[in-house]
A and B are shown apart, each in its own frame.
Chain A
Amino acid sequence: MVATDEELVARSMTGDADSFNQLVLRWERPIYALAYRVIGRDEDARDVAQETFLRAFRALPGFKGQAKFSSWLYRIALNLCRDWIRRKKRTPIVDMPEDVDFIEMAADQGPVESIEDLVARNEMSRIVAEGMKLLPDEQRTAIVLKEYHGLTFQEIADLQGCPLSTVKTRLYQGLSVLRKHLESQGVTSFASGRAS
């Protein structure tokens, strides 16, 4: 039986570090992914993710369970990302992983994905990353939380501290900027199966 976040939090509050480490194991990758997509640097995203869990551990006695543990973690991580961006005073830069080896990746992918598809996918990833870089922080964060973490509009509004309508506006404006950027890069056709 897998313990829920709430159960692990309760045990962690009694001083059980192992329970908290289970929470870390469960949430480290989403938090890292969030930080990476918001600030765009691998090493800094790792630092932010680690600092998120450290702060969460220290602040655990103050966590009263008003929000979900994951929302609480997201809030800490987003605050750290915002601090990072302010401190560095630089636009988030999205780095492609340095050690990408297309040949090895092709070997890992097997016969399903051809090298051409793989190269196209990496090119698409690069273009998307560049487009995300163009967005203001609020729009980028809203899109990241919605697209990659599946938060509801209301949850994003709570995290960003803004009205629900503002979240929808940010999403619409962000997606529109990305649309123009993709079109400017010659990307015009998608399999639009995600539209509801």
Chain B
Amino acid sequence: MSLMFSCDDKATLVAYLYDEVDAADRQRVDQHLRQCAVCAAEVGALAGVRTGLTQWAPPNAELGFTIVRAGGEPSAASHPAAAVPGPPPWWNTVPVWAQAVTAIFVLAVSAAVANVQVKSGPGGLAISTGWMTPAAPAMATPAAAPPATDESWKPALTALEQQLREEIRATRETGTVRAASRPSDGDDATLRRVRELLAASESRQNRELALRVTQLTRDMNIQRRADLLRVEQAIGHTSVEMAKQRQTVNYLIRASTTPQQ
């Protein structure tokens, strides 16, 4: 360690500036500054910069960070809370390709155990599971039953047509209109059913109408409250502006009336 402080020893100068030097170095620098005007001016200027730095303050931000566990209750509801998830689930540590392979394997084993059988034929796609004997295709897919080839239905249809023609002829001969005659028991039941349906429909419409009226009333109330809130906010904003203007005027008056020193 030299006994004399050198003007180029900026490291020691900075240490001196921040008071992080030992006593011996401090004494050396002090002695040097008494003799060297340039270094003394530099130390003074740098100390002045440090004073200037004290003027720089960050904004007075409202922070209030709060750590909460995911799914837990926040410690302070009024503060912005940063939800912290718990440790990552174990499957997140497994690569995606391994997860895909595992999924395919599990699916294949499940299909084998369940004895899934997929058959495709003229009747369509048939899927069966289990170890039992698969059901007959006609039962499994009734829509896929083969079309009937025998013509046994034709005589029955002919007989029905014949019966209808005879009834129509009999009606014309009697000259009466069935529709105008006294309703039979079957007609009474139909009439009752129609009335019941009409009553049910009317009741349903009434309920829907009541629901819509309620909805409309609620919407109107919400809109009315929102409008009121907006108006109150506008009034509050105006009041704040007026208060600011008043403060400004007061300060100007005060400043103008204060004697200059």
Contact = CB atoms under 8 A, between A and B. Distances in A.
Interface of A: 17-18, 20-21, 24, 28-29, 32-33, 36-37, 42, 45-46, 49-50, 53-54, 57-58, 97, 101, 103-104, 106-107, 115, 121, 124-125, 127-129, 132, 143, 146-148, 152-153, 165, 168-169, 171-172, 175-176, 178-179, 182, 187, 189-196
B84 A29 contact: no
B113 interface: no
A118 to B, nearest CB: 11
Contacts of A57: 67, 84
Interface stretch (B39-47, B95-103, B219-227, B230-238): B39-47
28 contacts: A17-B75, A36-B59, A42-B58, A45-B58, A49-B65, A54-B67, A54-B84, A103-B247, A106-B251, A107-B247, A124-B52, A125-B55, A125-B57, A143-B53, A147-B50, A168-B15, A172-B11, A175-B49, A175-B50, A178-B52, A178-B53, A187-B52, A191-B48, A191-B51, A192-B51, A194-B50, A194-B51, A196-B19
Given A21-B67, A107-B247, A195-B43, A147 B53 contact: yes
Given A24-B67, A195-B17, 17 more contacts: A18-B75, A21-B67, A21-B75, A33-B58, A37-B56, A45-B58, A58-B84, A103-B247, A115-B251, A147-B54, A152-B20, A153-B15, A169-B11, A175-B14, A179-B45, A179-B48, A196-B17
Nearest to A165: B11
Nearest to A121: B55
Contact of B14 (A21, A103, A171): A171
A79 to B, nearest CB: 18
Chief secondary structure at chain A's binding surface:
helix
A129 B67 CA distance: 32
B69 interface: yes
Contacts of B18: 146, 153, 171, 196
B64 to A, nearest CB: 8
Contacts of A168: 10-11, 14-15
A196 B244 CA distance: 45
Contacts, number: 141
Contacts of B10: 168-169, 172
B65 A28 contact: yes
Contacts of A21: 66-67, 75-76
Nearest to A174: B49
A195 B47 contact: yes
Nearest to A12: B67
* The 7 residue pairs across chains A and B that have the minimum distance between CB atoms: A190-B48, A195-B47, A36-B58, A168-B11, A196-B19, A97-B59, A124-B55
Contacts of B108: none
Which of B18, B53, B248 gathers the greatest number of chain A CB atoms within 10 Å? B53
